[in-house]
Chains A and B, each alone.
Chain A
Amino acid sequence: SAVISQKPSRDICQRGTSLTIQCQVDSQVTMMFWYRQQPGQSLTLIATANQGSEATYESGFVIDKFPISRPNLTFSTLTVSNMSPEDSSIYLCSVGEGATSNQPQHFGDGTRLSIL
């Protein structure tokens, strides 16, 4: 299965600043996803990163707050903009085995983000 590298693994940021999280895959993949996991909660999908076009955002998440880039089939970034303490969470990227969301996904180890 694909190997996913996520950077940074953790960070502590000041409120009002922005942080960009990188996700690198060791093979070309069609489907890449960004999730948020708050303590004790399930994974919540933020958006599907589409190569060559705008990301598809889920309800409650907007591009201005979470801009996503997908310049090629092996790389994506998620930016958390104008951060507040409510954004403290673990952010995870994943890749799908196939071309639909029904197939198994493989995850990076996440970015643990704390906002002061």
Chain B
Amino acid sequence: SQKIEQNSEALNIQEGKTATLTCNYTNYSPAYLQWYRQDPGRGPVFLLLIRENEKEKRKERLKVTFDTTLKQSLFHITASQPADSATYLCALSSGNTPLVFGKGTRLSVIA
């Protein structure tokens, strides 16, 4: 069955450093990969979408890569700030199949 793994439940980093979150998948050939941010008590907020034929996508301090050979996506936040502390979810879809979410990684940026 399809499986999505996000590298760790929690990640702590120092303010100003680059946070790197990992999303691995198995038994799946997604055409689209999305990243969302979720704050406590709130719904997920869409951040970035990358297609299978795109290697990299950037938006301000965010960068996403998508390696279909490794079956992996990396999500980077450069110059991280305490306000970046949240849970980050990756989600995959293919064709008209529903979006499937990973469990998320809780990022804490320490001042």
Binding site for B on A (CB under 8 A): 1, 4, 33, 40-45, 48, 58, 92, 94, 100-110
Please tell me if B45 contacts chain A, counting CB pairs below 8 Å: yes
Which secondary structure characterizes the binding site on chain A? loop
Which B residues, 15 to 52, have Cβ-Cβ distances below 8 Å to chain A? 31-32, 34, 41-46, 49
Q: Do the beta carbons of B41 and A109 come within 8 Å of each other?
A: yes
Partner of A107, one of B32, B43, B103: B43
Chain B count of residues within 8 A CB distance of the other chain:
24
Sample of 8 more A-B contacts, CB < 8 Å, known A102-B32, A102-B94, A107-B43: A4-B43, A40-B103, A42-B102, A43-B44, A43-B89, A92-B43, A101-B96, A104-B34
Partner of B46, one of A102, A106, A108: A106
Known: A101-B93, A107-B44. A42 touches B104 (CB 8 A): yes
In the complex, what residues of B have CB within 8 A of residue A110's CB?
41-43
In the complex, what residues of A have CB within 8 A of residue B97's CB?
101
In the complex, what residues of A have CB within 8 A of residue B95's CB?
102
Q: Do the beta carbons of B102 and A102 come within 8 Å of each other?
A: no
A74 to chain B, nearest CB (A): 17
